[in-house]
């Protein structure tokens, strides 16, 4: 149902081409698509199905519920839970053939109180992010205790803090800490299983340092992971579009939206658009961002509301009419608005832009064979 003509278009052909591109530049390292947060807002199930067509055999999500959703949809590849899973849910993870992350001694110690099967585990190492993970000097005890508890350890990984920054110094420190630790563990006879470290940024910048798998998240959707370096061969997968719900004419002194933060200083034509901050069009775009109408960039004026925002269409000729297309992210004519541009306006990360587009906006999946739709009202 598209009662307000607002939707997200997800180009699965472009996504598959991006996955294929990473597979080429990273070979023999394999691509591990990260599809947490509903595949960064693109729709995890359809994205996983597309990646499987490109021979992806391992996915990563954040939490158990996301892994269960994929299994219920028929996804058969390995799935790693990157974040915390309470030990009382290890049995459920095992039931759904999900691999959990082991990151603390308390998790290991809790095994004696758990009945039922355990899932497979990847051990996470803290090499400098200082979030989840065993410190390098704790890793040997972690592997030993996990073996004694008869836990099935099938991999080891860490997470990078600064791979997207201009200065690679800390990346190199983290990489060397991890590489040296893995070598020492293997030297002492521990089976480290699958080894993975690099994210999108590191995979683009340092493709030769990616071990067995590389975790590709935001850049698999054609979004640049850094403002300091780019891979211009990536194709943006997502388009966010809506329409004009009303055209209004302002006179000098008229104000727009809550708080009267914008006043017209001349005669103006403006368009009301039925998308608001609850849809993911952030309030920080008030009096700051732009959209495309009639192939012309049109600035957002006044505060973004829950369900609406207003754009200045004074420079668009002929005058747009109710129902005409509005592009919030994507291309229209010769103009385009990238996810990177919206992130700059909002002073946030590229991944937040797509991840925060709400379920209220329907996703339509475009590919070379068919279109499939996933709507909020189903």
For residue 176, what are the contacts with CB-CB under 8 A and spacing of at least 6?
Answer: none
Q: CB burial class (10 A; 0-12, 13-18, 19+) of residue 180?
A: exposed
* Residues belonging to the active site: 36, 258
The DSSP line for 257-303 is: TGGG-EE-SS-EEEEEES--GGGT--GGGTTT-EEEETTEEEEEES-
Backbone angles phi, psi at 24, to 5 degrees: -70, -45
At what angle are helices 169-187 and 139-148 packed, to 10 degrees?
Answer: 40
Helices (H), the chain: 12-26, 36-40, 44-53, 64-72, 90-95, 105-109, 139-148, 169-187, 200-205, 339-346, 350-355
Backbone angles phi, psi at 100, to 5 degrees: -95, 160
Nearest-angstrom CA–CA distance, 151 and 145: 9
| Contact in structure between 4 and 206 (CB atoms under 8 Å) | no
The DSSP line for 294-324 is: TTEEEEEES---SS-EEEE-TT-SSPP-TT-
Closest by CA position to 343, among listed 236, 231, 271 = 236
In this structure, what token pair is assigned to residue 368?
């070379």
* Rounded-to-5 percentages of helix, strand, coil across the chain: 35, 25, 40
Cis peptide before 141 (omega within 30 of 0): no
What residues pair up with 327 in beta bridges, in sequence order?
A: 241, 292
Nearest-angstrom CA–CA distance, 61 and 34: 6
- Cα 159 versus chain centre, distance: 16
Q: How many CB atoms lie within 10 A of CB 302?
A: 22
């Amino acid at each position: 149902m598209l009662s307000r003509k607002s939707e997200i278009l997800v180009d699965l052909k472009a996504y598959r081409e991006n996955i294929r591109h990473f597979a080429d530049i990273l070979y023999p390292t394999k691509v591990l698509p990260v599809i947490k947060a509903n595949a960064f807002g693109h729709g995890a199930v359809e994205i996983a199905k597309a990646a499987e067509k490109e021979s992806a055999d391992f996915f990563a999500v954040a939490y158990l519920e996301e892994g269960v959703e994929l299994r219920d949809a028929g996804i058969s590849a390995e799935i790693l839970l990157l974040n915390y899973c309470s030990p009382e849910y290890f049995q459920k993870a095992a039931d759904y053939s999900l691999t959990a992350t082991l990151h603390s001694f308390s998790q290991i110690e809790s095994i004696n109180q758990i009945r039922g099967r355990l899932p497979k585990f990847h051990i996470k190492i803290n090499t400098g992010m200082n979030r989840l993970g065993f410190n390098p000097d704790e890793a040997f005890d972690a592997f030993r205790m996990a073996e004694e508890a008869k836990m099935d350890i099938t991999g080891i990984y860490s997470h990078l803090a600064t791979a997207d920054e201009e200065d690679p110094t800390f990346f190199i420190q983290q990489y060397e800490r991890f590489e040296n630790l893995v070598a020492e563990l293997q030297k002492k006879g521990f089976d480290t299983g699958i080894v993975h470290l690099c994210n999108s940024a590191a995979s683009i910048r340092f493709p030769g340092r990616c071990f067995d798998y590389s975790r590709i998240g935001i850049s698999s959707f054609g979004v640049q992971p850094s403002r300091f370096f780019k891979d211009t061969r990536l194709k943006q997968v997502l388009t966010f579009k809506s329409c004009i719900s009303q055209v209004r004419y302002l006179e000098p002194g008229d104000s727009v939206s809550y708080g009267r933060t914008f006043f017209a200083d001349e005669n103006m034509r403006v368009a009301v658009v039925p998308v608001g901050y609850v849809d993911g069009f952030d309030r920080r775009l008030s009096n700051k961002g732009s959209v495309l109408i009639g192939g012309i960039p049109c600035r957002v004026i006044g505060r973004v509301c829950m369900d609406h925002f207003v754009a200045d269409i004074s420079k668009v000729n002929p005058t747009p009419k109710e129902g005409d297309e509005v592009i919030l992210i994507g291309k229209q004519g010769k103009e385009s608005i990238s996810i990177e541009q919206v992130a700059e306006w909002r002073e946030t990360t590229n991944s937040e832009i797509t991840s925060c587009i709400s379920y209220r906006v329907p996703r339509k999946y475009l590919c070379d064979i068919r279109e499939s739709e996933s709507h909020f009202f189903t």
